[in-house]
Amino acid sequence: MLSDAEKKQLLAIARKAIEERVRYDRPYDARLDPDFPGFTDQLEKPCGSFVTLRKHGDLRGCIGLIEGVKPLYQAVQEMAVAAALQDPRFPPVQLEELRELELEISVLTPLQEISSLKEVEVGVHGLLIRKGMKSGLLLPQVATEHNWNLEEFVRNTCYKAGLNPESWKRHRRDPDMHIYIFSAQVFGCPFDEA
């Protein structure tokens, strides 16, 4: 679990990374920022994370790394820019939008493959479904935001993976299908307050 100070630092890194790219079209490196003389062990640890942008409560971008392949602070820095500029569902964030954005960061626990959907706790667990080259992930808060029950959550994760929404029913008989759960520490704030 991250401390309040670590969460505040990650939100500031996300804001600065987006602002540097959108406002000045230049990359940002938190390691070179005098506001951050160092990072705690938690922030240096490789960890999966997603950065979500909302505008007036509506999704404006969301991109992340499922597994820890980079230090957490670096993953957040890069995923913030990707959420703002590279989410294929949305046009790139424009300068005049920045003050209307809300930042949300989800720090993921390691993936755990499950054998039964009875292991899924809606609102606590996120889902990752993989079948062959296809995969789809939904963060834990997505089910809560849409008031989905377990079946709706699984169906929508299949849909996001580009699979038939009913394909999860064959999970136990299909050696090529894998379902994973994870938890997330989720925190955020308005863009200007990060």
Q: Give the CATH number for residue 135.
A: 3.30.1490.150
The residue from 53, 73, 108 where one domain ends is 108
The residue from 91, 108, 125 where one domain ends is 108
Mapping DSSP onto H, E and C, the string for the chain reads CCCHHHHHHHHHHHHHHHHHHHHHCCCCCHHHCCCCCCCCHHHHCECCEEEEEEECCEEEEEEEECCCCCEHHHHHHHHHHHHHHCCCCCCCCCHHHHHHEEEEEEEECCCEEECCHHHCCECCEEEEEEECCEEEEECHHHHHHCCCCHHHHHHHHHHHCCCCCCHHHHHHHCCCEEEEEECEEEEEEEHHHC
Q: Going from the first residue of the chain to its last (194 residues), give the mean pLDDT of each consecutive group of 10, the final group possibly shorter.
A: 96 97 95 91 96 96 95 97 97 96 97 94 96 94 95 96 90 88 96 93
67 is a domain residue: yes
The pLDDT of residue 63 is 97
42 is a domain residue: yes
Number of domains in the chain: 2
The pLDDT of residue 182 is 97
Residues 141 and 73 in one domain: no
Residues 102 and 124 in one domain: no
Cα(54)–Cα(56) distance, rounded to whole angstroms? 6
The pLDDT of residue 173 is 81
Residues 100 and 119 in one domain: no
Q: What would the two tokens of residue 66 be? A: 């499922």
The pLDDT of residue 52 is 97
Residues 17 and 82 in one domain: yes
Residues 42 and 77 in one domain: yes
Residues 23 and 55 in one domain: yes
83 is a domain residue: yes
The residue from 83, 108, 133 where one domain ends is 108
Residues 54 and 128 in one domain: no
The pLDDT mean for the chain works out to 95
Residues 30 and 85 in one domain: yes
Burial grade of 26 (CB within 10 A; 0-12, 13-18, 19 or more): exposed
Query: How does strand 184-190 pair with strand 101-108?
Result: antiparallel
Residues 171 and 82 in one domain: no
The pLDDT of residue 114 is 94
102 is a domain residue: yes
The pLDDT of residue 172 is 76
Residues 99 and 119 in one domain: no
Task: Determine how many CB atoms are found less than 10 A away from the CB of residue 5.
Answer: 9
Residues 18 and 39 in one domain: yes
Domain residue limits at 162:
112-182
